[in-house]
Amino acid sequence: MNSSADDDIRAVVGALKHRAAAREETAPALDSVLDLVANDEAEIAVDYLVNTANAFRLPVRQDEYDRLLSAATRLDYADGVTEIDPTLLLPDPDGT
């Protein structure tokens, strides 16, 4: 278990859930990502999170992408993050 990576994954899931709710949508698959993290399956959670973002067309801010990539790197699973559709990446809110 890598609690730091788990925390980063949870934070990105929270942001995506918030973004989906703002569009008046639900993405129940994000709850499954949290379940995977809780069950010590963080590598699978990263893959599922990327697939969920792509399938539900959930935008990912650059800082969230970086946080997810950092978590995946700690888990030795960084390649999975690169599968996020680049058209979903948003700049950071502060313009950096």
Positive or negative torsion for Cα 80, 46, 44, 73? positive
Tell me: the pLDDT tens digits for 1-60?
567 999 999 999 999 999 999 999 988 999 999 999 999 999 999 999 999 999 999 999
* Residue 96 belongs to a domain: no
Residue-level pLDDT at 1: 56
Could you tell me the sign of the dihedral formed by the alpha carbons of 37, 41, 19, 94, in that order? Answer: positive
Q: Domain range for residue 86?
A: 3-90
Say what the pLDDT of residue 3 is: 79
- Tell me the C-alpha distance between 1 and 13, whole Å: 18
pLDDT single digits (tens) 53-87: 999 999 999 999 999 999 999 999 899 899 999 99
Q: How many domains does the chain contain in total?
A: 1
41 within 8 A of 5, measured Cβ to Cβ: no
Position 7 scores a pLDDT of: 96
Residue 26 lies in a domain: yes
Cβ(52)–Cβ(29) below 8 Å? yes
- Does residue 40 come out as left (phi exceeding 0), alpha (psi in the -120 to 50 range) or beta? left
Residue 17 located in a structural domain = yes
- Rounded CA-CA distance 5/17 in Å is 18
Q: What's the predicted TM-score (pTM) here? A: 0.90
